Structure 1
């Protein structure tokens, strides 16, 4: 007999639409979330009202609301979780607007499961959505729908959650978003392997080729097209370099209209609602952890916090990696997947697959909510393959935060805690923002944007402190070195320009 206070997932739901396709409605964020939550409620197959039982609802913060000063283009509800609850007739006593970060929904599964185990909640919802594709399409046509709502009521706003992400030195030198920051880490791994740009792009293509096959079969995919490794790796006008070594097809696709919802209840409440036991999925472990900032990591290519999260989740679940039947490693870019494969010895063509959805470049990078889709797919897999286990690894920032969940229809006792927040490492490399004369290059990227191209590097100054800067691409020897893809270990002479940027040239 499963104890009444055991947390179980009783329902999951996804909803999506693609611009211009039959049935397209140009739904708002709140409408998409409402559709996904309604699907999750229906998935419970309950005898009584699940909506009426919801006491906690967390709405995952949409990308358009994820930075200070960033406003949704068409407005938003004054109470986002309240607006979603209203769409399904729920009146939760506790409502939450999440922080930013792709690990958030996986982390909340652990938080809410722990609250249920402690008797503080009986039925909790995690729901989120993105409507970036619709917002862009409407803006391009001059459309101005009103997505604002006066909902009222109190909710808990957990803030933007950008602590540890705002690395102003890197931002000042043109590495202002996920693509160039991940590219710097990716090139550091390439340097360790001693590979050239073309060879490494082929590796990325081989990694992601199986992802495209899964995405092509997923009805919720934003880009349901199967592609070859060569097609992904080859630089063309359509598949241009966005930041070395990434081609456009191999980075997270944020232009999506997707939503997903997860409903967790106590076993006692699930019984009371009449949810069939065949719907119950047990939460065997959830772990979360925060990584050092990118510019202070001893190894720029590595992400030991994510490895620690996965390993501890496996320990809590009493499983080894080879006992996990289904895997979804967060795949905004290749390196978070490579890191797990490198550590656990998993082949890129492992018959289990490395994604359940099709991955962020192909299924779609549904903002902070992607891993809710992965959890939905994990629930579906273990329900149909009873006794199997699924692992979802969720990543936030620039490999800055990580959360891991392990799921199965096999019962999991919560008599002892199965949710842990791991301690952050404290072995960061000393950094400096003071003037210096020379630097030895550790990693770099050439970032291409509408305003031009910037070669951004991370290295060590004369005092062996970590520093950042730009390469002077107007200087032919310097440009050739960086565009050739092998500046690692080179020493640059540094001048500081009027904007305070460190500009490096080959000595």
Structure 2
């Protein structure tokens, strides 16, 4: 027996609309989420209407289309969360909209499971969706040939804001850190520097990591791109597999132009019993942790993630198990680095026979914005139901390895155990920081780099070190330096840097 307030996940749902489907509709974010929520309610095994009526909190994940102050191109609901709630016959006392960040699904799961455990609420639902495919489909059509998804719903909404300030600042934006590929390119190349790998060897390692992910995605009915890819196919640059930002060809980049939705229902054991939810539906959140990394430029080691390392360790401690007792993983995989760093810090082989994904990963299953790990949670819950007593681990990452949330799931009953994330966060805050020199007129060496092939002019993006040990950023369109960055190996190369108009420009020294 467990405390009746112990939280259990009792229903999960997913939905995917592919552009090559014969009945492709080009759905809105609300419509996609609604399909997933309906599936989650039905998955509880009891009357969906009764479950919907019992939900006190609807917690939603912010879509890309409402991640900036700009109006959504096809219109949107003024209260995404309540638009979905109304469609499924729910009227929650509280609606929440989370800031941007791929850690959001697991963070919300831990947050509201904790509120259930302390008796604040009994039933919550987490939902998310992304309609990137719809936005792309209608982007170039005339105004009269586009849908209008505008809804005026009103009502209470706890909007937690955009949250960009945790991921970027004026200095990094001016130096090209706009978009995820270039930022993760810096991290993967920093890791390559630590390992002493050549460019070609590292690209093969990335492809060897991701090829098994594509094999999983090829068998997943919810995948946006259910195609198995070989190592050679992933690593070979072609017209189809063009370079996006060094070191990534297109097939190693999260696929964000997808139409996908996911949802999960979590409730107290007492509520599950009262509603008649069968016990074979119950999955416990046995371990959990949520941590935030230092800002990018002050991290002592750009080739690892302290927050991911500590969050995984803490979630396992809370669950009372070791890594060897985990039977399944779904590690956030927008790019290779987030998977590599968890493997590096925990001695987990990249070809571990347990596999590192249940969905198929963001480049292949799909990367629906901030919602991806809700699909990972849904897959893990289903997996654990089929493996009674075993444990599944979900690693959810947000920003530039900025925020990392971990959940450990199992059908094995246990009372809720609080984590020590606050104490661990203080430990991260106390870590040494690298000094940053913003305006540079000197020579320095390249610590890590990326190349933006997605800009009109191919541009090198550099994080470097000055002789005094401080760190700086620079961009470069210098032909010789860009040629080295694109076709050679510039790590450790000395460059001459000149400041002007708030940015530093680099050329070969």
Q: Please tell me the TM-score bracket, short chain as reference.
A: over 0.9
Q: CA deviation at 1:295?
A: 1.4
Q: Which residue is 2:289 aligned to?
A: 287
Matching residue of 2:67: 66
Q: 2:486 aligns with which of 461, 477, 483?
A: 483
Inter-partner Cα distance in structure 2 for 1:90 and 1:311: 37
Q: Does 1:457 align with 2:475?
A: no
Partner of 1:268: 270
| C-alpha distance in 2 between matches for 1:291 and 1:71 | 31
Whole-angstrom distance in 2 between the partners of 1:318 and 1:72? 45
Q: 2: distance between equivalents of 1:488 and 1:218? A: 39
Instruction: Say which of 435, 445, 467 aligns to 1:440.
Output: 445
Give the equivalent residue in structure 2 for 1:9.
Answer: 9
1:90 aligned to 2:90? yes
Aligned to 2:212: 210
> Structure 2 matches for 1:196-275, cutoff 5 A?
196-275=198-277
CA, structure 1 residues 452+322, in 2 after alignment: closer, same or farther (shift >3 Å)? same
1:473, 1:355 → 2: CA distance?
41
User: Distance in 1 between the 2:122 and 2:115 partners?
Assistant: 8
Q: Distance in 2 between matches of 1:227 and 1:468?
A: 35
Q: Deviations over 1:196-249 (max 9, x none)?
A: 222111111100010001000011111100010110001111111111110000
Write the deviation string for residues 10-34 of structure 1: whole angstroms up to 9, x where unpaired. Answer: 1000011111412322211001111
User: What is the rounded CA distance, in whole Å, between the counterparts of 1:244 and 1:92 in structure 2?
Assistant: 46
Q: Please list the CA deviations of residues 126-153 of structure 1 after superposition, one character each: whole Å capped at 9, or x if unmatched.
A: 0000010011112234332111111121
Which residue pairs with 2:52 in the alignment? 51
Maintained 8 Å contact 2:51/2:275:
yes
| Cα separation, 2, equivalents of 1:484 and 1:156 | 49
Structure-1 separation of matches of 2:173 and 2:328: 37
User: Could you tell me how far apart the structure 2 residues matched to 1:448 and 1:230 are?
Assistant: 21
Residue 321 of structure 2 is matched in structure 1 by 319
Task: Look up the SS of the partner of 1:83 in the other structure.
Answer: helix
2:429 corresponds in structure 1 to 425
Within-5 A mapping of 1:322-333: 322-333=324-335
Corresponding residue number in structure 2 for 1:369: 371
* Cα pair 1:196 1:485 within 8 Å, conserved: no
Which segments of 5 or more consecutive residues in structure 1 lack a partner in the other structure? none
Secondary structure of the equivalent of 2:458?
strand
Matched position secondary structure for 2:415: coil
The Cα of 1:286 is off from its aligned counterpart by 1.4
CA contact (8 A) 1:106 1:403 kept: yes
Greater shift after overlay, 381-390 or 422-431?
Answer: 422-431
1:172 Cα deviation after fit: 0.8
**Counterpart check, 1:402 vs 2:404:** yes
Q: Give the number of equivalent residue pairs.
A: 502
Q: Distance in 2 between matches of 1:70 and 1:130?
A: 17
Residue 303 (str. 1) matches residue 305 (str. 2): yes
Contact 2:26–2:133 (8 Å) recurs in 1: no
Structure 2 stretches of 5 or more lacking a match? Answer: none
Q: TM-score, normalised by structure 1?
A: 0.96
In the aligned structure 1, how far is the partner of 2:71 from the partner of 2:448?
A: 34
> Relative to structure 2, which stretch is displaced further, 482-491 or 320-329?
482-491
Determine if contact 1:110/1:285 at 8 Å carries over to the other structure. no
Contact 1:328 1:355 in 2 (8 A): yes
Change (3 A) 1:90 1:122: same
Q: Distance in 2 between matches of 1:428 and 1:86?
A: 48
Query: Counterparts of 1:319 and 1:70 in 2: how far apart (Å)?
Result: 46
TM-score (norm 2): 0.96
- Residues in 2 aligned to 1:95 and 1:137: alpha-carbon distance in whole angstroms: 30
Among 152, 155, 171, the residue aligned to 1:150: 152
Cα deviation, residue 425, structure 1: 3.0
Comparing 318-327 with 159-168, greater Cα deviation is found at 159-168
**Separation in 2, partners of 1:206, 1:71:** 41
**C-alpha distance in 1 between matches for 2:258 and 2:324:** 33
Query: Runs of 4 or more off by more than 3 Å in structure 1?
Result: 140-143, 418-422
Deviation at 1:412, TM superposition (A): 1.9
SS where residue 452 of structure 1 aligns? coil
Question: Does structure 2 conserve the Cα–Cα contact (< 8 Å) formed by 1:175 and 1:447?
Answer: no
**Alpha-carbon offset, residue 418 of structure 1:** 4.5
Match of 1:194 in 2: 196
Alpha-carbon distance in structure 2 between the residues aligned to 1:383 and 1:419: 28
Looking at structure 2, the residues matched to 371 and 4 of structure 1 have their Cα atoms a distance apart, in angstroms, of 27
Please report how far the alpha carbon of residue 419 of structure 1 lies from its aligned counterpart in structure 2 after TM superposition: 7.3
- Are 2:439 and 2:499, in contact at CA under 8 Å, matched by a contact in 1? no
SS in 1 for 2:52: helix
Equivalent residue of 1:439, what SS?
Answer: strand
> What's the secondary structure of 2:112's corresponding residue?
helix
| Superposition map of 1:142-181 within 5 A | 142=142, 143-181=145-183
More off after superposition, 331-340 vs 189-198: 189-198
Aligned to 1:122: 122
State the alpha-carbon separation in 2 of the partners of residues 148 and 447 from structure 1.
Answer: 35
Question: Alpha carbons of 1:43 and 1:94: their partners in 2 closer, same or farther (altered >3 Å)?
Answer: same
